[in-house]
């Protein structure tokens, strides 16, 4: 009866509604070892990426305030925002496909929240306070010198880690070069950045010191999507209840007992899978909202099975269909649909990336301005904006009207235009044409932009003139 009611409650909240602090046992085993490899690789990428440069561009940059984005060293301007949105959509579809097929494996293996909590902060906690039993004993202990020393040291290290992570996080937002300059000049000259750094540090410290697994259970929207996307064919961390329960249910392990003859399953009710769970659930109650597929329960159960002389895999990656009907995993129609959409989106993104120009020129008629007539000549005033997305400088920019050839172009101000790397230049120009060649109310103009003798971009605009009869 207690287990039945447990399914309808959150593992981190007791019957009175108070927070149940989770003291997970330190995991070990095959899957935990693989998780460490993946986590350390991703942590290395996180800490190194802001300092990697490709052609002078930061490897990853998400400067929202200045609307500058670098993805894998390729700069993206606001004009390329559609590419950024499309890549985010692809990421969402990819995660959806993975969830439909393999459950919340993203949460347990790739999510930054899980990686930092389990592979950084908890490991510090284990090193200072010890394993599960030692932590529980320390938590109930009075505030003597031992508790103050261990808790204080842990919180100090947590704050230092949060501060370092916040600095790296800012590297992604404002750029590593800019952050290093601001650090050298001091916080007083860059008070906004310093305040942002303190806010991020406080948020990280709060999340990983107190909020912890509640992020996955309460705050993360992906956990809610799981309930919609999963079905009985999805591969999840699952308990083989057919093998574990038998006809007469679970039973504590006794040597020299024939459990099968007695009608009992392989589960010896040791609760190791519960003690090692970072979200405090009992995986034997089925797939649950709190489960992040971290596989800690698989390692714990496999270890118990080996010691008990029974085969591994009582808890394993499996679908409900596989456990109930012994059916192997199949690529369902829904999975094929998501995969098809994902393939199409990736194809579109690759095509758009190839069509993306390194230099973008926009020449537009000045809003609210009509054409001007000077004798037999008709003139229009335009504004031009040229964006350089490369790390190359362009000197001596000139404009050439390709069509119609009778049109003349005149740049206002200094005609020697310089366009720096990843820079922007704008100005005003006039386009003139003899009225005899103005045969339409709006003529289409094709204009090419040159750097010296090299054509770097072409664009179109319209020329307005009087209506002729």
Integer Cα distance of 27 and 242 in angstroms:
26
Q: Are 158 and 165 in contact (CB under 8 A)?
A: no
Q: What stretch of H or E contains 44? A: helix 30-48
From 18, 225, 202, 27, select the one nearest 114 (Cα to Cα): 27
Query: How many Cα atoms are found within 13 Å in the side-chain-facing hemisphere of 113?
Result: 21
Q: Are 69 and 62 in contact (CB under 8 A)?
A: yes
Structure tokens at 260: 């099968």
**What is the model's pLDDT at position 115?**
96
**Strand 454-464's sheet: what is its strand order?**
417-419, 394-403, 442-451, 454-464
Burial of 184 by CB count in 10 Å (0-12 exposed, 13-18 middle, 19+ buried)? exposed
Domains of the chain: 2-228 (no CATH), 234-325 (no CATH), 359-464 (2.60.40.10)
Q: In DSSP terms, which residues pair with 13 in a beta bridge?
A: 19
Query: Given its phi and psi angles, is residue 152 left (phi above 0), alpha (psi -120 to 50 degrees) or beta?
Result: alpha
Integer Cα distance of 191 and 25 in angstroms:
43
From 73, 100, 71, 101, select the one nearest 86 (Cα to Cα): 71
Low-confidence ranges of the chain (pLDDT < 70): 1-9, 467-469
Q: In DSSP terms, which residues pair with 317 in a beta bridge?
A: 237
- Residue corresponding to tokens 């010691």: 307
- Residue corresponding to tokens 């090692």: 276
**What is the model's pLDDT at position 7?**
54
- Model pLDDT for residues 215-255, shown as the tens digit of each residue: 988 888 877 777 788 888 888 999 999 999 888 888 888 88
**Cβ neighbours around 154 below 10 Å, total:** 17
* Secondary structure class of 70 (helix, strand, coil): strand
From 366, 373, 433, select the one nearest 404 (Cα to Cα): 433
Long-range contacts, stretch 28-32, CB < 8 angstroms, 24+ apart: 28/299, 28/303, 29/298, 29/299, 29/300, 29/302, 29/303, 30/299, 30/302, 31/295, 31/296, 31/298, 31/299, 32/295, 32/296, 32/299
- Residue corresponding to tokens 């808890």: 315
Integer Cα distance of 279 and 290 in angstroms:
6
Give me the phi and psi of 366, to 5 degrees please. Answer: -60, 125
**What is the model's pLDDT at position 434?**
87
Q: How far apart are the first and last CA of the chain?
A: 92
- Model pLDDT for residues 36-54, shown as the tens digit of each residue: 999 999 999 999 999 998 8
297-306 in b/e form (b: 16+ CB < 10 A) is bbbbbbbbbe
**Cβ neighbours around 456 below 10 Å, total:** 20
Integer Cα distance of 83 and 72 in angstroms:
14
- Residue corresponding to tokens 């009175």: 16
Structure tokens at 294: 């971290």
Integer Cα distance of 380 and 369 in angstroms:
8
**What is the model's pLDDT at position 52?**
92
- Model pLDDT for residues 325-370, shown as the tens digit of each residue: 887 777 778 788 888 888 898 999 888 888 777 788 888 888 877 8
**Cβ neighbours around 14 below 10 Å, total:** 11
**What is the model's pLDDT at position 467?**
65
DSSP state letter for 49: G
Is the four-CA dihedral 56, 57, 60, 63 of positive or negative sign? positive
Alpha helices (H) in 176-275, listed in sequence order: 176-185, 191-206, 214, 221-229, 241-245, 259-262, 272-275
Q: In DSSP terms, which residues pair with 462 in a beta bridge?
A: 444
Distances 31 to 77, 100, 240, 297, 317 between C-alpha atoms, Å: 41, 21, 18, 10, 11
Structure tokens at 90: 């692809």
């Amino acid at each position: 009866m207690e287990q039945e009611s447990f399914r309808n409650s959150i593992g981190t909240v007791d019957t009175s509604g108070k927070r149940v602090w989770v003291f997970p046992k330190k995991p070990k085993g095959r899957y935990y070892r693989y998780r460490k490899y993946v986590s350390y690789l991703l942590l290395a990428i996180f800490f190194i990426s802001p300092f990697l440069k490709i052609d002078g561009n930061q490897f990853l940059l998400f400067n929202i305030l200045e609307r500058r984005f670098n993805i894998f060293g390729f700069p993206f301007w606001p004009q390329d925002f559609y590419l950024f949105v499309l890549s985010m959509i692809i990421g969402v579809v990819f995660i959806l496909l993975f969830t439909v097929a393999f459950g919340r494996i993203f949460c347990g293996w790739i999510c930054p929240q899980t990686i930092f909590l389990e592979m950084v902060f908890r490991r510090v906690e284990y090193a200072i306070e010890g394993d599960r039993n030692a932590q529980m004993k320390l938590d109930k202990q009075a505030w003597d010198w031992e508790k103050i020393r261990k808790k204080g040291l842990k919180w100090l290290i947590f704050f230092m880690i949060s501060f370092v992570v916040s600095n790296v996080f800012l590297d992604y937002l404002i750029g590593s070069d800019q952050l290093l300059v601001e650090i050298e000049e001091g916080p007083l000259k860059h008070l906004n950045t310093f305040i942002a750094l303190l806010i991020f540090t406080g948020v990280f410290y709060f999340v990983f010191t107190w909020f912890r697994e509640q992020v996955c259970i309460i705050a993360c929207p992906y956990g809610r999507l799981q309930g919609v996307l999963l079905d009985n064919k999805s591969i999840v961390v699952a308990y083989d209840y057919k093998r574990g329960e038998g006809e007469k249910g679970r039973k504590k392990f006794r040597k020299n007992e024939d459990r099968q003859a007695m009608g009992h399953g392989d589960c010896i009710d040791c609760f190791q899978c519960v003690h090692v769970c970072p979200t405090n659930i009992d995986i034997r109650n089925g797939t649950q909202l709190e489960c992040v597929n971290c596989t800690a329960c698989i390692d714990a159960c496999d270890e118990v099975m080996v010691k008990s002389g029974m085969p591994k895999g009582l808890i394993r990656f499996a679908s409900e269909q596989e456990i109930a009907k012994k059916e192997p995993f199949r690529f369902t129609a829904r999975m094929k649909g998501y995969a098809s959409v994902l393939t199409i989106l990736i194809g579109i993104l690759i095509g758009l990336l190839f069509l993306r120009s390194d230099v973008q020129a926009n020449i537009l008629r000045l809003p609210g301005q009509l054409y001007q007539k000077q004798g037999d000549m008709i003139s229009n005033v335009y504004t031009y904006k040229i964006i350089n997305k490369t790390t190359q400088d362009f000197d001596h920019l000139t404009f050439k009207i390709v069509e119609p050839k009778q049109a003349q172009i005149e740049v206002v101000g200094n005609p020697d235009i310089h366009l720096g790397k990843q820079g922007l230049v704008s100005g005003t120009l006039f386009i003139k044409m003899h009225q005899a060649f103005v045969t339409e109310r709006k003529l289409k103009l094709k204009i090419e932009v040159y750097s010296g003798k090299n054509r770097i971009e072409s664009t179109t605009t319209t020329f307005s003139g009087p209506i002729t009869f």
